[in-house]
Amino acid sequence: MTKEVLRVEHLNKFYGDWQALHDISFTLHQGEVLTLLGPSGSGKSTLIRCLNGLEDFKSGAIYFKGQKVETNSKNWQELRQKIGMVFQSYDLFPNFTVLENILLAPVKVQKRPEEEVKTEALRLLKRVGLEKYVNSYPRELSGGQKQRIAIVRALAMHPEIMLFDEVTASLDPEMVRGVLQIVTDLSQVDHMTMIIVTHEMNFARQIADQVLFLENGKILENTPGEEFFKHPKTNRARGFLTSMDF
Amino acid sequence: MAHSAINVFFAGNNFSRILQGLWTSVWIAGASLIIGLILGTLLGILRTLPNKIIRFILRLYLEFFRIVPTIVLLFLFYYILPRTFHINWPASWMAVLAFSLWVAAEFGDIVRGALESVPLVQKESGLALGLSRVQLLRYVLLPQAVQLELPATINLATRVIKTTSLLMMISIMDVVAIGQQIIEANNQKYPTAVFWIYGLIFFLYFIIDYPLSKWSKQLAAKQNR
């Protein structure tokens, strides 16, 4: 049995009176890929954002490597160095070059030597095929390129989990594959532990070890990946898979 | 006799006195801008904090300086403050103080607006990388805010420079005050001097302010693209 990295217990989240997440519980082990599926507005993004403190929650608990997470901002700041996140919109800092974007957090937050991080950044950029853009500014890059660099920027922090929040949702169709390939490689080559919110069903099927199917902030299914796509248990999930034309 | 009236510039040390007056105006505007921009940056940052009391107080401060006419501010600082608080500073320092607080109020509002218009995802991706609040401000939010606030800041600078023409009201020998002295002294000899002197003052203000306002327009056009 592999080591447990993340465990969520009975998490409830409210926006005012409206309950966005109902009693969410799940466990994620090292090297596993968890995908969050479900219709728009089902709470997938809210859930993934709760996992690195970008959203607070009312009750329940998150355990990181067996330790209960204290939900104060100081503690989240520490933890976020181990939990990488990539967003839907291309979120590189426009005032920095590609290299500066990647160096910023490892050098300023983790206080690692700049030369060491630079070598690693160049290696990672090479891996995603963008080493020649090392000194470019984000505005000179396409959406797909920016998204690949956002992934590199998160990886340079040596995270123990990566969170991907619909990272291909606003990309041109031809850019999508390149980005998904990088995510797939991260799982297969690096055995990175990941949580992925996506609407790319083929990708989800190929990569997911575990699927959480959400609707209206509730987990309707928590199934091993292959099982969910072959034999969805609930009618709602069946309907969802059909509607995704899959 | 227009040709002879232009001689008023060169009579005695008139021309160098006008330049001296201009220098007074420029250094007061410059010092006020430097102090005001530093103070305003701090106020702008404070106004983005969630603390309601701080925000309310700073809002009051801004509205006070926005609503009260600058001339009233100058009188307040020159006549009333020294008497009530026994501060005996030279008039030009009091002017710098009044102008700095005014610039800080207005610039604070510009900074707040700019910080708030940096996209939320920039802030979130900074936080997600583990940056602290201070690092987020320093490396992500402020540099992007500077871009956004530049046109409005230059605009504010031109207004400050123009407003220095009120300094004569608190007996500072700025360029306008010296101009008037020269006009009055030469009224007999050069009756049309008023036209030349004010013409020169207009020209001097113009060559300082016009490039600034042109620059700010260019920057604004660039941002709207």
Interface of A with B in 102-131 (CB under 8 A): 104-105, 108-110
CA separation, residue B76 to residues A165, B73, B89, B97, B104 (Å): 56, 5, 14, 11, 17
Q: Which amino acid is at A39?
A: P
B125–A87 C-beta distance less than 8 A: yes
Contact A99, A110 (CB under 8 A): no
CA separation, residue A199 to residues A115, A118, A183, A224 (Å): 39, 34, 14, 18
According to DSSP H, which parts of chain B are helical? Answer: 2-5, 14-47, 52-67, 70-75, 81-85, 91-117, 120-128, 133-135, 142-163, 175-185, 193-224
The Cα A155–Cα A163 span in angstroms is 11
Of the candidates B122, B124, B128, the beta carbon closest to that of A93 is on B122
Average pLDDT over residues A127-150: 93
A89–B130 C-beta distance less than 8 A: no
Contacts of B23 (CB under 8 A, 6+ apart): none
Is A186 touching B (CB cutoff 8 A)? no
Report the mean per-residue pLDDT for chain A: 91
Report the mean per-residue pLDDT for chain B: 88
Over 60: is that where the pLDDT of B3 sits?
no
The Cα B202–Cα B224 span in angstroms is 32
Position B1 scores a pLDDT of 47
Tell me the per-residue pLDDT of A22-63, one tens digit each, with 9 for 90 and over: 999 999 999 999 999 999 889 999 999 999 999 999 999 999
Please tell me the total count of domains within chain B. Answer: 1
Domain that residue B116 falls in: 2-224
Is A159 touching B (CB cutoff 8 A)? no
Position B4 scores a pLDDT of 67
A87–B121 C-beta distance less than 8 A: yes
Please tell me the total count of domains within chain A. Answer: 1
Interface of B with A in 136-195 (CB under 8 A): 139-140, 143-144, 147
Q: What percent of chain B has pLDDT over 90?
A: 44
Tell me the per-residue pLDDT of A163-177, one tens digit each, with 9 for 90 and over: 999 998 888 888 898
- Residue B13: pLDDT band (50, 70, 90) is confident
List the CATH number of the domain containing B205.
Answer: 1.10.3720.10
Average pLDDT over residues B192-218: 87
| B10 vs B50: which has the higher pLDDT | B50
Over 80: is that where the pLDDT of B199 sits?
yes
A154–B129 C-beta distance less than 8 A: yes
B120, B122, B125, B146: which to substitute to probe chain A, counting the most A Cβ within 10 Å?
B125
B131–A108 C-beta distance less than 8 A: yes
Over 60: is that where the pLDDT of A1 sits?
no
Is A87 touching B (CB cutoff 8 A)? yes
Over 50: is that where the pLDDT of A115 sits?
yes
A-B contacts (CB, under 8 Å): 64
CA separation, residue B70 to residues A19, A222, B167 (Å): 52, 67, 10
Domain that residue A105 falls in: 4-243
List the CATH number of the domain containing A87.
Answer: 3.40.50.300
- Complex ipTM, two decimals? 0.89
Is B130 touching A (CB cutoff 8 A)? yes
Strand partners, A211: A35, A223
| A200 vs B221: which has the higher pLDDT | A200
Is A229 touching B (CB cutoff 8 A)? no
Of the candidates B124, B135, B143, the beta carbon closest to that of A109 is on B135
Please tell me the distance in Å from A97's CA to the nearest CA on chain B. 13
